[in-house]
Amino acid sequence: MSEDSSSALLTDHYELTMLQGALHSGAAARRSVFEMFARRLPEGRRYGVVAGTGRFLDLLERFRFGPEELDFLAENEVVDEATLNWLAEYRFSGNVWGYGEGDAYFPGSPILVVEATFAEAVILETLALSVYNHDSAIASAASRMSVAAGDRPLIEMGSRRTHERSAVAAARAAYVAGFATSSNLEAGRTYGVPTGGTAAHAFTLLHDSERHAFETQLESMGTGTTLLVDTYDVERAVRHAVELAGPGLGAVRIDSGDLSTTATRVRAQLDGLGATETRILVTGDLDEHSIRALAVAPVDGYGVGTSLVTGSGAPTVSLVYKLVARARGLDHDAPLEPVAKRSVGKPSRGGRKWAVRRLDEKGIATTEEVYPHDPGRVVGGRPLLRPLVADGEIVGRETVQDARERHRATVAELPEEALRTSRGDTALPTIFL
Amino acid sequence: MSEDSSSALLTDHYELTMLQGALHSGAAARRSVFEMFARRLPEGRRYGVVAGTGRFLDLLERFRFGPEELDFLAENEVVDEATLNWLAEYRFSGNVWGYGEGDAYFPGSPILVVEATFAEAVILETLALSVYNHDSAIASAASRMSVAAGDRPLIEMGSRRTHERSAVAAARAAYVAGFATSSNLEAGRTYGVPTGGTAAHAFTLLHDSERHAFETQLESMGTGTTLLVDTYDVERAVRHAVELAGPGLGAVRIDSGDLSTTATRVRAQLDGLGATETRILVTGDLDEHSIRALAVAPVDGYGVGTSLVTGSGAPTVSLVYKLVARARGLDHDAPLEPVAKRSVGKPSRGGRKWAVRRLDEKGIATTEEVYPHDPGRVVGGRPLLRPLVADGEIVGRETVQDARERHRATVAELPEEALRTSRGDTALPTIFL
């Protein structure tokens, strides 16, 4: 994907018609605050993980209505001429704050705060939600898998089970949330995610014998490679693998059957053959629950596909982007007034918000505090919003490694019960002050 | 997204290492057949819908390893020099057949058949699966919603709940499977999907009063617009809406509360105010089940978001891409030999396949027949594979409208029990002849 292509039409039709209406009434110029938050976590989840921040900033920079975008809107009469003229000049000139990528979030956490004119902020709704809803769903699931895997590396290999471009974002989000590598080459190129992989069953089936396939792979890739041993008969395959590679064989992969039983048997066989350093990788419909269940099995790494890219039961995390305040009038200095839809069962709190994670004396998180004003420095609290865009300029860029490191530190700060994979309640209460 | 950017790295690392191994052994040149199929439908589903064909052909055309792709692979030592040289020259030169886009499929239906050298076919695995697994998941869910909605139009509005590019593909797949419009502007530009939408709650909240927001929208967009009436008080909003627009008001939208009760009350109110032609659109966490439940309510159209883009419980459809046959030797004329992994509980049938949908005398589908040879013309049967690529040249391009029309005809051909939204068994048995 060309990095300079426009992201402007990744937008819902109604954002542009709202813009047209607001330009008509003059309210388009009102200073406004939109916030992104989740009303709840996916059922049974104890925490969520923010991801997508870096991707959103890249896409924001490419949110430009060029001739091709404007022609489409004009030909299809999506909006009127005045609106097209406004869009042609569009550059986001407001301010954005957000939770650091990789940080945890809870119900009501204001993970993104956009302050600009109504016009400038409203048209970012779909793009922002698409990016954060997808990437946070993946990172939230990935984080639970990383916790379940402990020190054993996780390999992301779900590209084939999701849209070809979601796959790249999913590999990135999984890496932020602790995965070691991905199968996705584009994620390697675009985001520097380490990639890996060796062979599928097709490679064995292609050759006249499994032995010949193994020989070929070892010659071509060296004895450090991973041989897939479950195409025909695992016991025979492991014997041939060590015969051909010697005890320096890198790893074997098991992709079917009862993984725990098979891994135990294969470990004993490998050890018996002197291949005590040869690792055992397992793949095949793994999720955080089966990873945890395999903790006692002699397994050295997990490959995770479908459950990762589908958010392990929660492919989206219901983030919303809501107008929470707007100026009383058109003046840039007009005071902001909180606004909120009247809702039953859908808590919406008007007014701009600031957030702090309260930590106890041991550095363990105890509450998510949401303030209606900037609380300044809070003793025993970690401020959660960082500046991402200042007067239209992107100031919050980080590397994927930075986000990965923040995620590691954030998880270390969570109370022990947050890290259970069983269904449970939100690990921290959100307190609106 | 630039239409000419390369899709070649939307590929799993192991496909290229398998290629390297196969080039090393010489088996890369063996004529091979890979097939894509689903071992089962998502739980409780009665049929699946094939989608993604058109997108796959577009991406296949852009599957080229240019200098940027090769540099990445070289710098990261993904494959050796011989493999890089092979990739630099890569053009798919084989043959592909596939089910028509929009057609139904069942367990074991060979929805894509790729015949080429092993090398040329193996590296398409991830791209093909990503496209078909995503798009078919969406189309399969969308089809059930279309059936449930009957003649009432469905509006796709799930972009915000999925990755920003999946959103475009989802809008396309939903349109293939019978949706009337989408909110996604990029889907309008790229695929000609009709787009629509008017306003969100933010538009009402922006203005000093709901009345002023309605006035503005009506002035700017005309009385045929859709007013969102549930920001504060539905009854008052409907009264104001008709006062301001007159009885020619296009539609009102209800996005919260008990949709059936509210729609019934609003219908009575609108009729009482003389706005008998004003339509009622409902949105808010709808899926095929709630759509069916609303069949008796006075509703004129449904907006569907989350459940559409997440495949209504099945965000992926477990399609696999398997080597089913390869030549006995390297000769182009060497006979094909069936191959299959030895599997317990994972039916894999070796050998190239052909498929026919058997119809009864009334034109209702009765069985999915899968042959190990080309059955030629089958009386009372509809052949399901059509040529997509012939000797590397794309021959199977169609418009999205063609696929939409095929879907309509296919659904009309299914037995009545296939069209129930309740959980059930596969509607047609697949018979392997």
Among A123, A113, A67, residue whose Cα is nearest residue A91: A123
Axis-axis angle for helices A164-176, A125-149 (nearest 10): 50
Q: A428: exposed, middle or buried (C-beta count within 10 Å: 0-12, 13-18, 19+)?
A: buried
**Which of A21, A69, A165 is facing B166, going by the closest CB pair?**
A165
What does the DSSP assignment read for A213-232? HHHHHHHHH-TTSEEE--SS
**Which of A129, A160, A257 is facing B160, going by the closest CB pair?**
A129
Cβ–Cβ below 8 Å for A21 and B203: yes
Among A28, A33, A83, A62, residue whose Cα is nearest residue A385: A33
Beta bridge partners of B382: B357
Q: Of residues B242 and A1, which shows the higher confidence score?
A: B242
Contact A168, B196 (CB under 8 A): no
What's the one-letter identity of residue B273? L
Cβ–Cβ below 8 Å for A130 and B183: no
Cβ–Cβ below 8 Å for A185 and B13: yes
Sheet with A226-228, side-by-side order of all strands: A181-182, A154-156, A301-304, A279-282, A251-254, A226-228
Q: Check residue A346 and give its pLDDT.
A: 62
Contact A170, A138 (CB under 8 A): yes
Q: Is A427 helix (H, G, I), strand (E, B) or coil?
A: coil
**Which of A30, A78, A212 is facing B185, going by the closest CB pair?**
A78
From its phi and psi, is residue B311 left (phi > 0), alpha (psi between -120 and 50) or beta? left
* Alpha carbon of A359: minimum distance to chain B alpha carbons (Å): 32
What does the DSSP assignment read for A129-144? HHHHHHHHHHHHHHHH
- Phi/psi at A399 (nearest 5 deg)? -85, 165
Write the secondary structure of B392-422 as one string of H (helix), E (strand) and C (coil).
CEECCCCCHHHHHHHHHHHHHHCCHHHHCCC
Q: Is B367 helix (H, G, I), strand (E, B) or coil?
A: strand
What does the DSSP assignment read for A83-120? HHHHHHT----SEEEEEPTT-EE-TT---EEEEEEHHH
Tokens of B378: 């089958």
Chain B residues in contact with A167 (beta carbon < 8 A):
10, 126, 130
Average pLDDT (A217-233) is 96
| Residue in A closest to B36 by C-alpha | A160
CA dist., res. A422 & res. B67, Å (int): 48
Q: B375: exposed, middle or buried (C-beta count within 10 Å: 0-12, 13-18, 19+)?
A: middle
- Which of A12, A19, A190, A208 is the best mutation test for B, with the most CBs of B within 10 A? A12
Contact A143, A49 (CB under 8 A): yes
* Predicted model pTM: 0.97
- Which of B20, B78, B138, B163 is the best mutation test for A, with the most CBs of A within 10 A? B163
CA dist., res. A115 & res. A269, Å (int): 62
Residue labelled with tokens 């013309």:
B377
Q: Is A354 helix (H, G, I), strand (E, B) or coil?
A: strand
Q: B406: exposed, middle or buried (C-beta count within 10 Å: 0-12, 13-18, 19+)?
A: buried
Cβ–Cβ below 8 Å for B162 and A316: yes
* Count of alpha carbons within 13 angstroms of residue B102, beta-carbon side: 25
* Alpha carbon of B425: minimum distance to chain A alpha carbons (Å): 23
- Percent with pLDDT over 90 in chain A: 94
Cβ–Cβ below 8 Å for B206 and A32: yes
Residue labelled with tokens 């859908």:
A346
Cβ–Cβ below 8 Å for A195 and B129: no
Q: Check residue B1 and give its pLDDT.
A: 42
* Alpha carbon of A6: minimum distance to chain B alpha carbons (Å): 7
Average pLDDT (A317-342) is 90
Cβ–Cβ below 8 Å for A197 and B17: yes
Cβ–Cβ below 8 Å for B233 and A342: yes
Domains of chain B: 13-138+314-432 (3.20.140.10), 145-313 (3.20.20.70)
| Residue in A closest to B122 by C-alpha | A202
Tokens of B298: 């006075």
Beta bridge partners of B325: B33, B338
Q: Check residue A53 and give its pLDDT.
A: 98
- Phi/psi at A286 (nearest 5 deg)? -80, 150
Contact B45, B314 (CB under 8 A): yes
| Residue in A closest to B210 by C-alpha | A341
Residue A387 has pLDDT above 90, yes or no: yes
Cβ–Cβ below 8 Å for A185 and B322: no
- Which of A205, A214, A259, A307 is the best mutation test for B, with the most CBs of B within 10 A? A205
Cβ–Cβ below 8 Å for B21 and A199: yes
Chain B residues in contact with A205 (beta carbon < 8 A):
323, 326, 339-341
The torsion of the CA quartet A94, B184, B158, A165, rounded to 10 degrees, works out to -80
* Alpha carbon of B386: minimum distance to chain A alpha carbons (Å): 24
- Phi/psi at B263 (nearest 5 deg)? -60, -40
Pairing of strands A279-282, A251-254: parallel
Pairing of strands A154-156, A301-304: parallel
Among B281, B104, B98, residue whose Cα is nearest residue B176: B104
* Alpha carbon of B360: minimum distance to chain A alpha carbons (Å): 35
Contact B270, B278 (CB under 8 A): yes
CA dist., res. B121 & res. B132, Å (int): 16
What kind and span of H or E run contains B345?
none
Cβ–Cβ below 8 Å for B220 and A20: yes
pLDDT class of A1 with cuts at 50, 70, 90: very low
Please, what are the averages of pLDDT over each run of 10 residues along chain B (433 residues)? 77 98 96 97 97 98 97 97 98 98 98 98 98 98 98 98 98 98 98 96 95 97 97 97 98 96 98 98 96 97 98 97 92 87 71 97 97 93 97 98 98 97 95 94
Residue B219's contacts (CB-CB under 8 Å, 6 or more residues apart) are: A24
Beta bridge partners of B37: B320
